[in-house]
């Protein structure tokens, strides 16, 4: 007795009433790759750091007129950096979990 091979599920396979999900939209609103989104967010982090550094420098020089905007810029940069660190930590933990998964 021979069994016929199982045909692979291709693009023509559809379940009635179920549609494929849209790709995840990137930060710019267009569907982008994970690397593109990551690169853009790192650029945003760099911009926040540079803005905080220039605001702090202007405060040290005495040219800053609004101290609260300087504090806000520095806090935004600090929180963004903490978030980036937490994301990196969670990513490394996920990779370690994958590597330690036994098959």
- Please state, in angstroms and as integers, the Cα–Cα distance from residue 100 to each residue in 11, 91, 94, following that order: 33, 14, 10
pLDDT tens digits along 66-85: 999 999 999 999 999 999 99
Is the per-residue pLDDT at 20 higher than 90? Answer: no
Six-digit token string for 97? 């979990």
> Is residue 17 in some structural domain?
no
> Is residue 94 in some structural domain?
yes
> Is residue 57 in some structural domain?
yes
> Is residue 51 in some structural domain?
yes
> Is residue 28 in some structural domain?
no
Q: Could you tell me the residue range of the domain that residue 83 belongs to? A: 34-98
- At residue 27, the pLDDT reads 46
pLDDT band at 26 (very low <50, low <70, confident <90, very high): very low
Model-wide pTM > 0.85: no
10 Å CB burial of residue 36 (0-12, 13-18, 19+) is: middle
Report the domain count for the chain: 1
Residue 25 three-state SS: strand
> Is residue 56 in some structural domain?
yes
Compute the distance between CA of residue 13 and CA of residue 33 in angstroms, rounded to an integer. 25
Average pLDDT, whole number, for the chain?
82
Compute the distance between CA of residue 4 and CA of residue 7 in angstroms, rounded to an integer. 9
pLDDT tens digits along 35-73: 888 899 999 999 999 999 999 999 999 998 899 999 999
> Is residue 55 in some structural domain?
yes
């Amino acid at each position: 007795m021979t069994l016929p091979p199982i045909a692979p599920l291709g693009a023509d396979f559809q379940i009635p009433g179920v549609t494929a999900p849209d790709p995840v939209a990137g930060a710019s609103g267009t569907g982008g790759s994970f690397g593109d989104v990551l690169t853009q967010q790192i650029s945003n982090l760099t911009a926040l750091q540079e803005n905080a550094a220039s605001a702090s420098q202007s405060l040290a020089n005495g040219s800053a007129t609004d101290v609260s905007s300087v504090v806000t810029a520095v806090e935004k940069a600090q929180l963004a950096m903490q978030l980036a660190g937490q994301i990196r930590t969670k990513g490394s933990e996920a990779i370690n979990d994958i590597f330690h998964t036994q098959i």
